[in-house]
Amino acid sequence: MSAGAADSRPLTLFSALAVRKALDDGLLDAFTATSGTPVTAVFDPTVPLLRRIDAGEAFDALVAVTGSLGPLAERGLIDPATRTPLARTGIGVAVPPGAPHPDLGSRAALVAALRAARSVAYSRTGASGIYFARLLEELGIAQEVNSRATVIDKGFVAEAVVDGRADLAIQQLSELLFVPEAEIVAPLPQEVQHTTEFAVALSPGASADPRARSLLAHLSGPTAAACYARTRLEAL
């Protein structure tokens, strides 16, 4: 393949859902507009992304929960020298459009809201859902809430409050934004809040590609920070 043909190949970005809103709202388009390099983005929660990598799917750049990158580096699946912090976000609660907003100002208020809900929606494989399942155990209400919960494998759980399956949706704030009809009530109370950090890294095969290096710099630069701020993410 000629150098020109190689340069025309789109970069493949595997990305966690938490940053999808920022990427879709102009961040990737801005990169392509300034660099001339197209990007093919594959969005999934971190756990399914890791499964894709285990199955041998190729990628140039990976945005995932920061803690997941260490094991990948140990296995030689990312270049550890390219690991770069991007952003972090907390978990929030959304309700159907026009529904009353429950009090979420304290741990006790959250417990009351969860127990009063007809159904609570959360994700089985997302970072927020994995944490929320543990939190239910810690709050002592796991059996009660899960007996009528709407647990989805992956995706945007606020869809469940819009279509009537649930009264409350629990997910990272940046992901709740993807369902604009749902109303974000508030973050979880600070005493039980969980913040997830995300980072980007390049595959070993892409680490010497200047186009991939440019993408990494773009995702961690000032344009990205502004996009993250607009989508309930805090740049790192």
Between the alpha carbon of residue 24 and those of residues 19, 41, 155, 176, 190, the distances in Å are: 9, 10, 15, 15, 29
Mean pLDDT by 10 residues, the chain (236 residues): 55 95 93 96 94 97 97 98 97 97 97 98 91 97 98 94 98 94 97 97 97 97 94 94
At the second CATH level, the architecture of 3-88+197-235 is 3-Layer(aba) Sandwich (3.40)
First to last CA, the chain: 38
Q: Domain 91-192 falls in which CATH fold?
A: D-Maltodextrin-Binding Protein; domain 2 (3.40.190)
Q: CA torsion angle for 18, 23, 26, 30 (degrees, to 10)? A: 150
Rounded to two decimals, what is the model's pTM?
A: 0.86
Q: Where are the domains of the chain?
A: 3-88+197-235, 91-192
DSSP state of 79: -
The full DSSP string for 105-150 is: SSHHHHHHHHHH-S-EEEESSSHHHHHHHHHHHHHT-HHHHHTT-E
How many whole angstroms from its chain centre is CA 29? 19
Please report the pLDDT score of residue 125 as a whole number: 85
Is 91-192 the same fold as 3-88+197-235?
Answer: yes
Phi-psi region of 171 (alpha: psi -120 to 50; beta: other; left: phi over 0): beta
Please report the pLDDT score of residue 3 as a whole number: 38
Q: Are 186 and 95 in contact (CB under 8 A)?
A: no
Please report the pLDDT score of residue 5 as a whole number: 41
Please report the pLDDT score of residue 109 as a whole number: 98
